[in-house]
Amino acid sequence: MGLISPDEYKASLVDGRVVYYKGEKVENVVTHPDLGVCVNEMAIDYEMAEDPKYGDLAAMEDPETGETISRYYYKPQNAEDLLKAHELIVKATELGDGYIPLAHDIGADALNAINITANMIGNQDYIDRIENYRKELQEKDLATCAGVTCVKGDRMLRPSDPEQAHPDFYVRVVKKNNKGIVVRGAKMHITGAAYCNDIFVVPCRAMTDADADYAVSFAIPANTKGIKQVCRPFISQRSPLEFPNTRPVRVHTDSLIIFDDVLVPWERVFLCGEWKHAATMVYNFALMHRRTGCAYRIPLSEQFVGAGVAIAEYNGIAGAPHVREKLTDLVIYLETLKSLSKTACYDFVMRGGLAVPNPIATNMAKYHFAHNYHDVIKIIQDLAGGLVVTAPTYKDYQHPELNEVIDKYLVANKNVSAENRLRMVDLIRRITRAEMETICLHGEGSPMAERMTIYMEAGKVMKDCQRLAEELAQIKR
Amino acid sequence: MGLISPDEYKASLVDGRVVYYKGEKVENVVTHPDLGVCVNEMAIDYEMAEDPKYGDLAAMEDPETGETISRYYYKPQNAEDLLKAHELIVKATELGDGYIPLAHDIGADALNAINITANMIGNQDYIDRIENYRKELQEKDLATCAGVTCVKGDRMLRPSDPEQAHPDFYVRVVKKNNKGIVVRGAKMHITGAAYCNDIFVVPCRAMTDADADYAVSFAIPANTKGIKQVCRPFISQRSPLEFPNTRPVRVHTDSLIIFDDVLVPWERVFLCGEWKHAATMVYNFALMHRRTGCAYRIPLSEQFVGAGVAIAEYNGIAGAPHVREKLTDLVIYLETLKSLSKTACYDFVMRGGLAVPNPIATNMAKYHFAHNYHDVIKIIQDLAGGLVVTAPTYKDYQHPELNEVIDKYLVANKNVSAENRLRMVDLIRRITRAEMETICLHGEGSPMAERMTIYMEAGKVMKDCQRLAEELAQIKR
Amino acid sequence: MGLISPDEYKASLVDGRVVYYKGEKVENVVTHPDLGVCVNEMAIDYEMAEDPKYGDLAAMEDPETGETISRYYYKPQNAEDLLKAHELIVKATELGDGYIPLAHDIGADALNAINITANMIGNQDYIDRIENYRKELQEKDLATCAGVTCVKGDRMLRPSDPEQAHPDFYVRVVKKNNKGIVVRGAKMHITGAAYCNDIFVVPCRAMTDADADYAVSFAIPANTKGIKQVCRPFISQRSPLEFPNTRPVRVHTDSLIIFDDVLVPWERVFLCGEWKHAATMVYNFALMHRRTGCAYRIPLSEQFVGAGVAIAEYNGIAGAPHVREKLTDLVIYLETLKSLSKTACYDFVMRGGLAVPNPIATNMAKYHFAHNYHDVIKIIQDLAGGLVVTAPTYKDYQHPELNEVIDKYLVANKNVSAENRLRMVDLIRRITRAEMETICLHGEGSPMAERMTIYMEAGKVMKDCQRLAEELAQIKR
Amino acid sequence: MGLISPDEYKASLVDGRVVYYKGEKVENVVTHPDLGVCVNEMAIDYEMAEDPKYGDLAAMEDPETGETISRYYYKPQNAEDLLKAHELIVKATELGDGYIPLAHDIGADALNAINITANMIGNQDYIDRIENYRKELQEKDLATCAGVTCVKGDRMLRPSDPEQAHPDFYVRVVKKNNKGIVVRGAKMHITGAAYCNDIFVVPCRAMTDADADYAVSFAIPANTKGIKQVCRPFISQRSPLEFPNTRPVRVHTDSLIIFDDVLVPWERVFLCGEWKHAATMVYNFALMHRRTGCAYRIPLSEQFVGAGVAIAEYNGIAGAPHVREKLTDLVIYLETLKSLSKTACYDFVMRGGLAVPNPIATNMAKYHFAHNYHDVIKIIQDLAGGLVVTAPTYKDYQHPELNEVIDKYLVANKNVSAENRLRMVDLIRRITRAEMETICLHGEGSPMAERMTIYMEAGKVMKDCQRLAEELAQIKR
């Protein structure tokens, strides 16, 4: 086989999966008026591979088999591989108007995390299974996602703590038989799960001995019996109150996934009881996934810089000193993100036989993005001014009694029409919404999660520096 | 007469005013499904005055006439008057679930600013007119608002600059006759204008000699011929996707007001050509209006503290050290706002015979609120987590296939039901939206406007401090 | 008796006290070239009381006895008392060129904390002892200080924890007899202890049952047998490299105080084993002392504003927009400190029969000062520029080969001589030094200590706000 | 010739140069008790080249001549050359205990800036002169520095503005003859000038036509007739109050350099009247010099991380959550600096035939370092606590009456002796002083200078981003 077409991808989704949306069961995610928009977004990944302009980036020849495979499913070996993958995510997100298509990347993060963990455990069964599964993914070009965050219950308690209201807050093995394992529990915040083929499940925290049943990782088709998804509603169409725009709406949705005693065949089980390695797996996933996160936020950050620069010009304030200061801060935000993301590739480390992005730089990049995001939003809103809230709508603009006065009165910079100013205000309203703030804070882990990782990974740096200070102070210990 | 009832207020709005909404002309703002919601919000001011619990706060005996008048329309004379007015705004906003009712307060800010300016000019005509108008407002208990921000055109150019695309970006006098003046132009961001009785118009910037036609201030009924308003659409009903909530929706909307050659009778003209005093008037308005702004944001800030504390508890993370840090920051935000707002009253200054809040403290309070607002939102979103974006809706919650699993899986703190957690998430989604961010930044003037005012007003403080430093350095000049 | 003169205060210090300085035992602190400078600073308190300009502020008539007493030793009963005390500290610190004289204020903080605690315990012995001691202090006008911070050893361990390297890290009772108690241990960071008459000792943390021996408070003359002090060296004279300045150098020093089995008579013992009240006492001390801290930092902050404004002018950059921004930030820093400090008085609370400053506002004021201090220093250094580091000295300025060229080349603003510019640079070098940064961070407790207090004290505010949010979300619990 | 030895370097400084220090003329900078310490610091560069461990880094074979030359004086051609130079500066600074030796690097920054400018002007004379001079520097291995910052007078006025108090605030050509040019003026803040061989002079700002006499660049031996230097005093020895430490003190000093009608021969003149290129030259110098600045601050930042980690451990607080937060912030500070510095090399650009570090990344690195420096100091001081101000000295520690009690009482973490804790406190006192704060802010240009450069250089980034936003908003212009 090899790479599949966008249509083949879409056809594959009509498979009996159980998805709820606004309280109703969805018959067909592809033709559903809202979910279909997300399907189109995910299909960008397949379009890119077919596009002569991007094919070399999105696909590559497997050095072992000579087959053409998605670059996402290739095992990175060096800085160049990581930089290429980085570039691919950035470009794909650009094509998605700031939304990463997601057909393979989060899945690939899970695939690599499982691969590394299997190598580190040294369990040949797991090594073979994940290797076989990687081959299958390469051959069938499946869309995959990763189910990581369990619903957790009381976060201060371990999964198996009897103080938990019930034992199912973390996905766990409730039965094993010769066919496979039976799992129960729920994962939440799972972007793209409603319109991908397979779901990787990995644990979301460190475990103890008592939590062994929760130390479980596997891959499973989204239409497997017992899997039920609930998607959060979202806006899939432009409002008629906005100025018309022919670009397709780009958006994703997230699923709450219920695993109601789901059977997973053994050949798709990659961790089952080895509680000591749960932390390794989630740790590696987080590392690779935060790298993904930083890459896809570069085009988003470029939108912010662009919207800020544009509205400053349109509002006729680009020359004011404090406006120049704000634009400079936007540039610093973007360029810091780019620098840290690329440093993560240049200063990669090897883990379990794969090249992984530098853990400190990766976590710093993601932390930088999230920690300073609200400041960026504040700057954009500061530059844009009250019109974001009070501007007349396109409906008003069309009204014969109002069209002329709006054109007359809502000009600021006389080289920019009122219409163009209102169009930019429409864009700013779309890209600075609160929902995105939460996504940017919490996607790929909260800022605190990144800080903790930086602290942990920086152990060596800190010890080296301490030794330096002790030498200067002539301290002998 | 004296105070009027909520129904009398509503009846007064059916007066032929010209208001557009979503591209259509509104027949009756009171019965309109969206605008009627705002009318109810404004009516709170009238309800308070009738309510035995709040009557003493909302109304008072006029010491001169012995009549009962709205406290808003009383001329403050000392710290106590300012503290009472502060308390009134805080309480009214609490009753409006975080929205200030607005029937009198912005109008009162304009009234006082005009009054002070008239006294400072010493023009007896103006003094008499504003005194008569104040009496009429006290007697008829009219709802008033203030039209301040002109559409401006190129902000780097003065109103009369021939480089402006046309001469009407700032409201100006185009004709004078023995009946009055004829004005043309447009004001934007005017909250409540669509459902108040009279609109105060004051200039929005300093003027020069050449701008004399733009140095104009007056009051005018909202239904005057030639006035046309366009309101920005807003959400006036709870979504059926949210958990049901019987509290009325509280909201305001803002108008773009077009003055299409409107005749203003002389007895309502308070500035007409005295360009040197345009700055004084807008300056005094800004001062009083920022005080109003700080007061009404106290209940809003209390909502943020409360939502943060609640969701931390509901998510079961209230004990984590970094969560306690965030809650402490919320408290510091709220208490700084309260301290500065009250300092503004205690350290009042007299201007044109009225007690006005301390300019430095007032501007610092408003700046504090706006400058740090996004940090507050970030904290709330950080504490609330991804559920704000991904939570199942009330529709899903009601579905028989989902109700039980949601109740089971979406509990975090076992003392709080999944339903209550989702309800709090609904509230957080409502109060942390981007629109409010812009309002909080720009309402009553941008952060930069407050900074500039602080700098200007601090001239004496800075000189005194400089002298102190020079004494210490033994510098003789 | 009543108030004493500066000379009487100085004479009282020649009392056989054991003080070490730069590795040598000091014969007489008054005539010692370095310590004598501190004695002069402390004497300002006594000078003020004699000065007709300040006498009414520094002293007052005791309403009970009719005697003239130091205002510091009066029990505050209301907001006015607190505001007066605030004003007194501010003025005294102004006279000390930014250094608080310290003869009574920290002692008074301890006195009041002990008084409140005695009242709260309800132990009549303690109430009588502290009342008697207060009378004696009023009558003899003694200089007092407070020994609070124990050396602590391992801060993560309680005083009595057997894991501590030895049991004496916190001051403790090692013996009791009919004369009194015998105490051992060490206190550090005790400003002014080397040149005051009596030292109050209070615990520095909450205690448990096992720590009962450490729950001890008392007052003791500084020359008592067994007390040994080590003072940190400091700069007591202007460098000849600086431009000459006839103002006296103002400075304090801090002691490490060793209690080597010191006998404390029962009438000066105010806590002895009541471990549950150790926390109350330190808590009340911290509260009052932080109020003191905020007051005396107002004149210091005025110096920073003044130095910033002056050097911006002298460097000829006062008109640059980013410089105006920085000056505005200096003003905001100062005015926030003033607002919070006064709010602490206006919103006082009653504790154990005394009016105490509002705990939240007080801790916020101190936290504001400390947390933002480095930003202030950064601004001053940014405005001052490299000359602070590279300027020629007064010695160079006097050299005939250099005087003319320095006068020629080191002018920036032509209205300000090179000499005056260099004088201001000298001042800035003195007031922005790193030592002061540490004092401002840690004096009266670290920023973290204030944050923890704010969190604790804000319990009611947070609950009220939570209830408000729950009402809005219609959550019934 | 080729590389010279440390002794040869020192011998070369006894050349009749005119240097003043503390108001006295210095006979011999090498044997002077204070300046000699700086000479030793600069000599590190010569020691490195001789040291087998560092020789390959400090020196290299000139690909053209095959001669061994200092790597500093090589023209960088690609990312690798820049990374090597970066590594060299980092290592040299490590050997200087945080002080960059400075024998060649600032000079090399000037050399390259002049070289690029000559190439851009296309003036063959200049190209030849600078090429010849580079060869001479390579052959003689001279120590060079750069005189950039003029004393400026009124910074708001151009050099030639008649409003300036006199015309000599910027170095200018007062005469030309067939031997060369005669220059007058003064440069300040010139680090290392008192003990280097040659001084590069470059303009410090953009010029206009009227300023042509000030558009001058040249190189000149430090002992040339008419050059007079004044050095700022500094601490060249450890205080006997500190714990003994056998490492040499490392320090530099800065000169005010007076050019009193100094003759510069034509072959050392690199700019003379081409006012349009003054900006280019200073711009290129700033770029390269900021790169140098970022490199040498990496070891300094490592000292801060190390001191923070060490004192947290010594104080026994390393496990507290808020302490871990602070340590994480130190790591983020260091790693961001490293990432941006290396990005500047990877993303180099070609200018005038030389590879120069990326302007945006370089300025961001320097800005990051300076802008956040005070936060780093605050963290260190917060972790270190009051002992930095109040600790007993080594003199006290040696006193027989005190030694035992200090050892007993000043232990915190029982695995660390009181002596070691006090040693670390000594180090922290040395490295966190205010002087260094100013150097870190203003060295290589103020934070505002970097911001302005970022804004200017980011023109293309901003335009690209704006176009992106306009595409999304479907704006046609």
Q: What is the dihedral sign for C-alpha A116, A117, A120, A125?
A: negative
Range scoring the smallest mean pLDDT among A280-284, A466-470, B206-210, C290-294: A466-470
Interface residue B33 vs chain D (CB under 8 A): no
Enter the DSSP assignment of B268: G
Interface residue C79 vs chain B (CB under 8 A): no
Q: Which residue of D has its CA nearest to A426?
A: D473
Enter the DSSP assignment of D127: H
Cα–Cα distances in Å, from B24 out to A21, A92, B230, B237, D242? 33, 41, 9, 19, 81
Chain A, window 216-235: residues with a beta carbon less than 8 angstroms from a chain B beta carbon: 228, 230, 232-233
pLDDT of residue A477: 76
Cα gap C45→C10, rounded to integer Å: 12
Continuous segment of H or E residues that includes residue B260 = strand B254-265
Interface residue B392 vs chain A (CB under 8 A): yes
Enter the DSSP assignment of B244: P
Cβ burial D147-165 (10 Å sphere, 16+ → b, else e): bbbbbbbbeebbbbeeebe
Subunits with 3+ C-beta pairs closer than 8 A to A: B, C, D
B215 pLDDT higher than 70:
yes
pLDDT of residue B420: 94
Interface residue C321 vs chain A (CB under 8 A): yes
Mean pLDDT across D441-451: 85
Residue C191: partners with Cβ closer than 8 Å, 6 or more residues away: C102, C106, C145, C252, C253, C254, C255
Q: Which residue of B has its CA nearest to D325?
A: B322
B309 pLDDT higher than 60:
yes
pLDDT tens per residue, range B36-79: 999 999 999 999 999 999 999 999 999 888 999 999 999 999 99
C399 to D164: CB separation less than 8 angstroms, yes or no? no
Decide: helix, strand or coil at residue B232. Answer: coil
Share of chain B above pLDDT 70, in %: 100
| Selected residue with higher pLDDT from A382 and B445 | A382
Cα gap A132→A73, rounded to integer Å: 12
Give the distance from residue C50's alpha carbon to the nearest chain D alpha carbon, in angstroms. 33
Interface residue D319 vs chain B (CB under 8 A): no
Interface residue A382 vs chain B (CB under 8 A): yes
Which residue numbers in chain A have pLDDT < 50? none
Count CB-CB contacts under 10 A for residue B65: 12
Interface residue A313 vs chain D (CB under 8 A): yes
pLDDT tens per residue, range D14-54: 999 999 999 999 999 999 999 999 999 999 999 999 999 99
Cα gap D97→A471, rounded to integer Å: 10
B466 to C306: CB separation less than 8 angstroms, yes or no? yes
- Are B141 and B2 in contact by the 8 Å Cβ rule? The answer is yes
Of B163, B317, B395, the CB nearest to A155: B317
Nearest alpha carbon to residue D62 among D43, D87, D81:
D81
C1 pLDDT higher than 80:
no
pLDDT of residue D132: 97
Beta strand pairing call for A254-265 and A227-231 = antiparallel
Mean pLDDT across D387-397: 94
Decide: helix, strand or coil at residue D260. Answer: strand
pLDDT of residue B326: 93
Which of C302, C420, C455, C466 should we substitute to test contact with B (largest number of B Cβ atoms within 10 Å)?
C466
Beta strand pairing call for C269-272 and A68-70 = unpaired
pLDDT tens per residue, range D56-65: 999 999 988 8
| Selected residue with higher pLDDT from B296 and D433 | B296
- Residues of chain A with C-beta less than 8 angstroms from the C-beta of D97: 472
pLDDT of residue A460: 86
pLDDT tens per residue, range B374-430: 999 999 999 999 999 999 999 999 999 999 999 999 999 999 999 999 999 999 999
B456 pLDDT higher than 90:
no
Cα gap B50→B70, rounded to integer Å: 11
C245 pLDDT higher than 70:
yes
Mean pLDDT across D355-380: 95
D240 pLDDT higher than 80:
yes
pLDDT of residue A1: 53
Q: How confident is the model at residue B1 (pLDDT cuts 50, 70, 90)?
A: low
Chain A, window 94-133: residues with a beta carbon less than 8 angstroms from a chain D beta carbon: 97-98
| Selected residue with higher pLDDT from D435 and B132 | B132
Give the distance from residue D128's alpha carbon to the nearest chain A alpha carbon, in angstroms. 38
Chain C, window 11-30: residues with a beta carbon less than 8 angstroms from a chain D beta carbon: 20, 22-25
A317 to B168: CB separation less than 8 angstroms, yes or no? no
Mean pLDDT across B12-32: 97
| Ramachandran region, residue D430 (left: φ > 0; alpha: ψ -120 to 50; beta: rest) | alpha
Interface residue B321 vs chain D (CB under 8 A): yes
- Are C229 and C17 in contact by the 8 Å Cβ rule? The answer is yes
C324 pLDDT higher than 80:
yes
pLDDT of residue D35: 98
Q: Which residue of B has its CA nearest to D321?
A: B321
Of D151, D155, D386, the CB nearest to C410: D151
Q: Which residue of C has its CA nearest to A325?
A: C322
D364 to A475: CB separation less than 8 angstroms, yes or no? no
- Bridge partner list, D172: D184
Secondary structure (H, E, C), C10-61:
HHHCCCCCCEEECCEECCCCCCCCCHHHHHHHHHHHHHHHHCCCCHHHHEEE
